Amino acid sequence: MIVSPAFAGKTYAVLGLARSGLATVRSLIASGARVLAWDDREAARADAAALGAEIADPQVNDLTGFAGVAVSPGVPINRHPIAKHARAAGVPLIGDIELFAQARSGLPPHKVVGITGTNGKSTTTALVHHILQVAGVPSLMGGNIGLPILSRDPLPAGGVYVLELSSYQIDLMNSLDCDVAVLLNVTPDHLDRYDGFASYRASKLRLFAMQSGRHAGVVATADETVRNLLAALKVGPRTWRFDKSEGGALAHTARHDWPALQGPHNWQNAWAAYCVAAELGVAKNVRDAALCTYPGLPHRMERVAEAGGVLFVNDSKATNADSAAPALAAYPAIRWILGGQAKSADLDACTRNFSHVRSAYTIGEAGPMLADLLRPHMPVTEAGTLDAAVAQAAQDAAVGDTVLLSPACASFDQFRDFEHRGDTFRELAQAVAKGDRP
């Protein structure tokens, strides 16, 4: 695990004891800190006590003199009482990434890549990590992907930490100076946590505001407002900016050789990763080869089965319309399965790709509403459940079609999370491929 003498002799509170919370408790105690820990779940409190933490609720305890309150990114600090309580005591709210930032000076010499954006973060993070692995550079993924960063063993000298960073995590950071900061895109999302879109966008841009002047930025969005705001921040001297023309950094490559990077959104994800790797000194021929061997991530345009000339693609991670739109653009003849818990009452981001959809199959709470939106544009079946949708889509599909789960909705009405939804789709699709009924 990552430990630091910077934490020794200090007192911290940790609120939220899931994976990252327990990793934070373990790291702080191993570093010589005193830790008060709390979670509403009794079993989680018992786990923290076994690590040596004192069990006490920081929301009602005196926080005077604490070095910080480490909260889970899932805690809505815009309305949770811990924010007011900590502020009254003059104690900062922090997260495990901020603790990692404070521990960096004691780690072997390394670099950090921080990747944020509304959509595409996981793919780009995994792709940068893959390129570095192909290049023989020690690296690991952390942040919003993989294992908690504080639970990982430090990299050797010359290593690169590649961090996927949500806006919630950035809100809990004050000092992470990324050697390369990446912004993929910013579209409205999570607005229940922010005072409007401008506030959400400002949270993303803080990743660049924390950089020192010598470090680099990669900006994949062409949004002029975002670019102007970044210019005002005086982002480092080397800033890579995406150009949609074929004169971009990857114009010489054959994108059809990237099986796990199909669709225009992945063109930008690949461009961003390519620029990050170039900034880190990875040779061009290694970057080119790595794009062809990248295996992709589960639940992100994941090819899960093929039967009778019909491809089944799991894009369960697409939990809003903006993240579903790229998958619709990637395939020419789609049987589209969508629905769940709606994050908005429209599919406007998807409309430009409706011509690719031969028929749609709606599921979950949002099914009837989405069916009404889509009927003027395409045949729609209100399937209700995922198994019914897969069965009907497979029956309707012709050779060359793609049965695509890209829900444009959250999953919590019928599934534990998007992974559970995607795993279920994979099982159903593979059953079809074996000739079984889902």
Name the nearest CA neighbour of 5 among 92, 103, 91, 100.
103
Name the nearest CA neighbour of 210 among 235, 182, 176.
176
To the query of whether residue 204 is one of the catalytic residues in this protein, the response is: no
To the query of whether residue 244 is one of the catalytic residues in this protein, the response is: no
To the query of whether residue 190 is one of the catalytic residues in this protein, the response is: yes
Catalytic-role residue among 80, 110, 190, 420:
190
CA distance 115 to 427: 31
CA distance 213 to 234: 8
Catalytic-role residue among 121, 129, 204, 215:
121
Name the nearest CA neighbour of 17 among 3, 28, 32.
28
Alpha helices in 320-380 (DSSP H): 321-330, 367-374
For residues 371 and 280, is the Cβ–Cβ distance under 8 A?
no
Catalytic-role residue among 144, 185, 269, 320:
144
CA distance 409 to 319: 4
CA distance 297 to 125: 10
| Residues contacting residue 413 through CB under 8 Å, at least 6 positions apart | 340, 341, 364, 365
Tell me which residues are annotated as active site: 121, 144, 190
